[in-house]
Amino acid sequence: MKSGECMTIELIPDEIRFAENPEPRCPCVLLVDVSNSMLGNKMEQLNNGIATFAQELKSDSLASLRTEVAIITFAGSAEMAQEFVTADRFEPQPLNVDEGVMITEDQCYPNPLSFGDGTNEQKPDYMSEDGLYCYRAPFRLLGGTNTSEGISLALDEIEKRKQTYRDSGIDYYRPWLFLITDGEPTEPQEVVDHIARRLKEADSQKKVAAFSVGVEGADMDVLARISPRRPLMLKGLAFSSMFVWLSHSMSRVSRSRTDDEITLDTDGLKDWAAI
C-alpha cells in the first residue's frame, strides 16, 4: 500500500463510523495506574476486569453502540493505550506494568532515589566526594506515579473527542473519567494541586464526570484531595465486580437523554467498594 493511501485511511475512520453508527456517544476513559506497585496479581486481576467490562458492554445492544471506551495508562509518564472505540469494537489488550529502565553503570544523583510508589527513599551505596547519592549498577530505575500527567492527558483527550463529535454532528453524553490507582502522585505538590483544581473545575462545569478508585496501598486522603467525588476503596482485588458495575452504569446512561443528570447504582457499589 502506498503511503498516501495509508494516511488517507487513517484520517477517515471516524467519518465512516459515524455514518454507519450515528447514535449519540457516551465516552468513558479508564485512567489506569501501571506503576511498578501494580506488578503481579493486581495487574492480572485488573486485565481480567477490563475484559469483563468489554464483554458486558457488548452484551447490551444499545450500550455497545453508544459507549466509547479509551484507556490511558500512567507511571513515570502517561500514554494513550487505547484510542476511543465503540464498545462493539472494543478488544482490550493486556496492560503491562512499567518496570522501569535497567541501569548498567553506576549513577549519582543530587537526591536519594525513590522507588515503587515514590514514598520509600533508597539508601545510596555510597556518597561521592561532592555530596551526591550514588548507586552501584545494575539497578532498575522506576518512573514513579505521575497521576497529574495522566489526568491532564485524559482531560485533553476528552475535549478533543467532544470536538470530533461536534464537528461530525454527533450528540454526546457527559464523559466519564474513571481513575484507578494503588499509589500516590510522585510529582511536586504544586503540580498535583494544579491538576486537582483543573479536574474539579471540569467536573463542576459538567465537562466530565470524574470518579476515582483506590486499590490496596493507595493513599485515600491524597486521592480525596484530587477527586471531585469521594474516592472509593476497592474490596481486595474485586476488579471484575467493579467493571460489571461500570458496564451497567454505562448501560443506564446510554438509555437516558444526553442532558439527564447522572444517577449512580449505589446498591451495586457494595459488591466491590468498601463503603
Q: Give residue-wise pLDDT tens across range 206-219.
A: 999 999 999 999 99
Q: Residue 192 — pLDDT band, cuts 50, 70, 90? A: very high
Q: Give residue-wise pLDDT tens across range 115-167.
A: 544 445 678 999 999 999 999 999 877 778 999 999 999 999 999 999 999 99
C-alpha grid cell, residue 157? 483527550
Residue whose C-alpha is closest to residue 216's, from 256, 248, 183, 179: 183
Helices (H) and strands (E) in the chain, counts: 9, 14
Per-residue model confidence (pLDDT) at position 120: 53
Region 11-26: what's the mean pLDDT? Answer: 87
Cα–Cα distance measured from residue 273 to residue 238, given in angstroms and rounded to the nearest whole number:
8
Domain ranges of the chain: 23-98+144-274, 101-141
C-alpha grid cell, residue 234? 476497592
Per-residue model confidence (pLDDT) at position 2: 37
- DSSP H helical segments within 169-238, as ranges? 189-204, 220-226
Residue whose C-alpha is closest to residue 53's, from 30, 21, 24: 30
User: Strands, DSSP E only, in the chain?
Assistant: 26-33, 67-74, 78-86, 101-103, 107-109, 114-115, 120-121, 126-127, 133-135, 139-141, 176-181, 209-214, 232-234, 273-274
Mean pLDDT, the chain, integer: 91
The residues, ordered by sequence, that sit 6+ positions from 275 with a Cβ below 8 Å of its Cβ are 232, 269
Q: Give residue-wise pLDDT tens across range 60-117.
A: 999 999 999 999 999 989 999 999 999 999 999 999 998 777 889 999 999 888 654 4
Q: Give residue-wise pLDDT tens across range 229-273.
A: 999 999 999 999 999 999 999 999 999 998 888 778 888 999 999
Residue 9 predicted with pLDDT over 60: no
Per-residue model confidence (pLDDT) at position 123: 87
Cα–Cα distance measured from residue 192 to residue 185, given in angstroms and rounded to the nearest whole number:
7
Share of the chain above pLDDT 90, in %: 78
Q: What CATH number does domain 23-98+144-274 carry, 3.50.50.60, 3.30.300.30, 3.40.50.2000, 3.40.50.410?
A: 3.40.50.410
C-alpha grid cell, residue 190? 504544586
Residue whose C-alpha is closest to residue 185's, from 225, 145, 150, 215: 145
**pTM for the predicted model, two decimal places:** 0.86
User: Is 64 in contact with 57 (CB distance < 8 Å)?
Assistant: yes
- Nearest 5°: the CA angle 219, 76, 32 is 60
User: Is 33 in contact with 72 (CB distance < 8 Å)?
Assistant: no
